[in-house]
Amino acid sequence: MAHADILPRLIALRDEIRRHDYLYYVKDHPEISDSQYDRLFRELIELEQAHPELVTPDSPSQRVGAPPLQELVKVPHAQPMLSLDSIIEQSEVQAFDLRMKRELETLSVEYSVEPKFDGLSVELMYDHGFFTRGATRGDGMTGEDVTVNLRTIRSLPLQLHGGSNLPDHLVVRGEVYMRLDDFQALNRRITERGDDAFANPRNAASGSLRQLDSTITATRPLVVTCYEIMNVSTPVPPTHWDELETLAQWGLPAPALRRLCASIDEVMAFHRETESMRDQLPYEIDGVVVKVNRRDWQGRLGMKSRSPRWAIAYKFTPRKEITIVQEIVVSVGRTGTLTPVALLKPVEVGGVTISRATLHNADEVARKDIRIGDTVKVERAGDVIPAIAERVPVPGEHRSTPFCMPDYCPVCGSSVGREGAYFYCTGQLVCGAQLKGAIEHFASKHALNIEGLGKKTVAQLVDTGLVRSLADLYRLTNADLVRLEGFADRSATLLLDSIAGSKTVSLDRFLMGLGIRQVGQHIAKVLAREFGSLDEIMSADRERFQQIREIGPEISQGLVLYWSEPRNREVIAQLQESGVQVAPGMATGDRKKSPLAGKTFVFTGGLDHFTRDGAQEAVETAGGRVSSSVSKKTSYLVMGRDPGSKLDQARRLGVTILTEVEFAALIGK
Ligand code: IVH
């Protein structure tokens, strides 16, 4: 080809491929065969390979991914990306309609209704018609920059249609998701390689988009649909319906399935119809989104802190399928709670194969009367763990005996305790299922406060067998740690220092760190004050615990069971042997003498010289208590910057109000 002809041919090829991408991926209406398309694409690649200087970022060839990133960079959103309130009942959607009419002072409101796609929300930015940046929703204020990954999604135009009429700047919001057939094919591919399958299309979409290596994203069959203009430099269309039309005119994929409804009855009809065709749709939707159509009305209705007032997610009833309970096993969570789990004959519910379902707790099993061999209905709602909805009685069936919770933990053999409907393993410190959780808790800020001992490190220590009990922490050496991934000499030294630093610990923090059920920060402090020493607590009986005002029958029972497990006592002895010294807490006698004994403090607003935790600790060290709400019993309200409604409450009740300076003086700081 003559050199002068190359650029025009490249431009023509790109335009043509873009048009066919649009027809195929957005319009779902291809005009040429796959092999004709492949031929065009090959020609483009060959020409670009021969003339790399002519490659442009918006060329269809550039959708194959870019070099891997070190991390996904956090980006603030220009406007917060709100979430939606969701409802499920007809009465709730009628109430929504009444609210809209009342607030808008009108007799009828028109709604634009579209599917609620079950994927992950993204923000897409176009400058002068070119796709320039895309981010995940994140926490709504800050997301992750996934621009290079989004570029690999074929239904996302790298260039908008519309030539000179395009806005200089446009930010749209949409949903990235995966079609069901593509999801199943992907899972097949992944499992054949020996990797774990994704649990559902939404996880698959999220895992595929939030990749450091966009060449992996490029192999994942993601699609995108846009449903909101978040910001545009030209006038905004007057209605949501026009907004979607405008998005479509710009070549962006907008929901094709949508309806303009003149009344809430029409909304309910659309909801019904969509729900009945849900199984025939090629992708997962979990409801419809109902939006007030007029944008000026949207503006008038405004928003709450996390969601707009003018829209609502009107969900479908969760899907249910029938299967058989093959076994009921008991799993032990990281906090020791025993959960009965039904192992099911695998069944597909909404495109996902389910073979286990939680039975929540013993009461639930009894209430639903689920036994091994029963026929049951399982349901799956959104990303919730599958659950058994109900038993389906089968005429003439022979049922097995009712399920009972075990007396001993299936993981470690410790005795099982009970708290209402919940059963738990009492071997907090010795149970393999609880070890990681127990260590994390032991090291946490309000317990032994071992800096650098987070979730990841704990997992490494336990998985490599370096730590098999809490006491093992105090035997770790520099040589042990530097062998772990992510550790160097300095980080190892820092961690060892903070472990060593935790060897002297106050009684309340130590108690808190043991992870005894129901013994959080507050109860740990109460115990430390009442008993003064660990030995006193370890030898107390139920009656003694119950004499304490803050301690009810359940906590006493928990404490007694905890200390009755000899292996828990053994761990404490080991900790003491490793050099952990528990400093005696404030004894009752001392507390009575202290200046603030019996005084209750409430804080409101921001403090300049204390953290909230620090202020609380100071009050408690001086024998006082901190409460979160103002009552007649409150002794002092400490007023910080921008005090809230607690100040009014305190004034009304005649509670003494202190400034931060007065407070500091009172506690002697
Ligand atoms: S509108 C201010 N429309 O649902 C408008 N959201 O449960 C907020 N979603 O985080 C969003 N399909 O990710 C809207 N047609 C649709 C949607 C949709 C799915 C997601 C979105 C949002 C979540 C809220």
Neighbours of 92 (CB within 10 A): 15
Tell me the mean pLDDT in the region 484-506: 94
307 lines ligand 1 (CB under 6 A): no
* pLDDT at position 594: 67
* pLDDT at position 591: 52
Q: Whole-angstrom Cα distance, residue 85 to residue 358?
A: 26
Residue 264 CB contacts under 8 Å (≥ 6 apart), including other chains: 93, 94, 96, 97, 111
Q: Whole-angstrom Cα distance, residue 143 to residue 74?
A: 6
**What angle (nearest 5°) sits at the alpha carbon of residue 102, between those of residues 229 and 314?**
50
440 lines ligand 1 (CB under 6 A): no
289 lines ligand 1 (CB under 6 A): yes
Lookup: tokens for 383: 């990303």
Q: What is the CA(84)–ligand 1 centre distance, in A?
A: 6
Tell me the pLDDT band of 430, cut-offs 50, 70 and 90. confident
Tell me the mean pLDDT in the region 408-413: 93
Q: Whole-angstrom Cα distance, residue 146 to residue 218?
A: 12
Q: Which amino acid residue places its CA nearest to atom 16 of ligand 1?
A: 116
Atom of ligand 1 nearest to the CA of 86: 7
Q: Which amino acid residue places its CA nearest to atom 12 of ligand 1?
A: 116
370 lines ligand 1 (CB under 6 A): no
Query: For residue range 328-371, what is the model confidence (pLDDT) as tens digits?
Result: 999 998 889 999 999 998 887 866 788 999 898 899 899 999 99
What whole-number percentage of the chain has pLDDT above 70?
97
Q: Whole-angstrom Cα distance, residue 436 to residue 3?
A: 66
* pLDDT at position 383: 45
Give me the residue spans of the domains in the chain: 3-63, 85-315, 320-391, 411-585, 593-666
Residue 52 CB contacts under 8 Å (≥ 6 apart), including other chains: none
Calculate the alpha carbon distances from 412 to 272, 427, 460 in Å: 50, 7, 21
* pLDDT at position 585: 67
3-state secondary structure of 134: strand
Residue 498 CB contacts under 8 Å (≥ 6 apart), including other chains: 450, 451, 452, 453
Q: What is the CA(556)–ligand 1 centre distance, in A?
A: 47
CATH entry, 85-315, from 3.40.720.10, 1.10.1060.10, 3.10.350.10, 3.30.470.30: 3.30.470.30
Tell me the pLDDT band of 587, cut-offs 50, 70 and 90. very low
Output phi, psi for 35, to 5 deg. -70, -35
Query: For residue range 216-232, what is the model confidence (pLDDT) as tens digits?
Result: 999 999 999 999 999 99
**What angle (nearest 5°) sits at the alpha carbon of residue 212, between those of residues 210 and 214?**
85
Q: Sign of the C-alpha dihedral, residues 283, 289, 294, 299?
A: negative
Lookup: tokens for 460: 């490494």
83 lines ligand 1 (CB under 6 A): yes
The helix (run of H) or strand (run of E) holding residue 331 is strand 319-332
Q: What's 593-666's CATH class?
A: alpha beta
156 lines ligand 1 (CB under 6 A): no
pLDDT at 197 over 80: no
Block residue for tokens 């993601």: 222
Lookup: tokens for 409: 């933990």
Q: What's 320-391's CATH class?
A: mainly beta
Q: Whole-angstrom Cα distance, residue 624 to residue 16?
A: 76
* pLDDT at position 16: 94
DSSP state of 26: I
Atom of ligand 1 nearest to the CA of 313: 7
pLDDT at 249 over 90: yes
| Residue in 77, 81, 83, 84 to alter for ligand 1 test, most ligand atoms within 8 A of Cβ | 84
Q: Which amino acid residue places its CA nearest to atom 17 of ligand 1?
A: 116
Atom of ligand 1 nearest to the CA of 120: 13
Q: What is the CA(267)–ligand 1 centre distance, in A?
A: 17
pLDDT at 586 over 70: no
Whether the Cβ atoms of residue 253 and residue 259 lie closer than 8 Å to each other: no
* pLDDT at position 351: 65
* pLDDT at position 589: 46
Type of residue numbered 335: T
| Residue in 116, 124, 209, 224 to alter for ligand 1 test, most ligand atoms within 8 A of Cβ | 116
pLDDT at 410 over 60: yes
Whether the Cβ atoms of residue 606 and residue 631 lie closer than 8 Å to each other: no
Q: Which amino acid residue places its CA nearest to atom 13 of ligand 1?
A: 121
Tell me the mean pLDDT in the region 19-39: 88
Calculate the alpha carbon distances from 88 to 205, 218, 318 in Å: 25, 36, 10
Calculate the alpha carbon distances from 430 to 425, 476, 515, 569, 578 in Å: 10, 19, 12, 10, 17
Lookup: tokens for 251: 């070549």
Tell me the mean pLDDT in the region 19-43: 89
Alpha carbon distance, N-terminus to C-terminus of the chain:
85
Residue 152 CB contacts under 8 Å (≥ 6 apart), including other chains: 63, 64, 65, 214, 217, 218, 222
Query: For residue range 524-570, what is the model confidence (pLDDT) as tens digits?
Result: 999 998 998 999 999 999 999 999 988 988 889 889 989 998 889 99
* pLDDT at position 3: 78
171 lines ligand 1 (CB under 6 A): no
Lookup: tokens for 314: 């009107």
DSSP state of 582: E
Q: Which amino acid residue places its CA nearest to atom 15 of ligand 1?
A: 116
Span 411-585 CATH architecture = Orthogonal Bundle (1.10)
Q: Whole-angstrom Cα distance, residue 315 to residue 301?
A: 22
The helix (run of H) or strand (run of E) holding residue 131 is strand 130-136
| Residue in 88, 227, 259 to alter for ligand 1 test, most ligand atoms within 8 A of Cβ | 227
Q: For domain 3-63, say whether CATH 1.20.140.10 is its number.
A: no
Which of the residues are catalytic? 116
Q: What is the CA(220)–ligand 1 centre distance, in A?
A: 22
Q: What is the CA(87)–ligand 1 centre distance, in A?
A: 13
3-state secondary structure of 175: strand
* pLDDT at position 254: 96
Query: For residue range 450-482, what is the model confidence (pLDDT) as tens digits?
Result: 999 998 999 999 999 999 999 999 999 999 999
178 lines ligand 1 (CB under 6 A): no
121 lines ligand 1 (CB under 6 A): yes
* pLDDT at position 588: 46
Average pLDDT of the chain is 90
* pLDDT at position 246: 95
Q: What is the CA(138)–ligand 1 centre distance, in A?
A: 13
pLDDT at 78 over 90: no
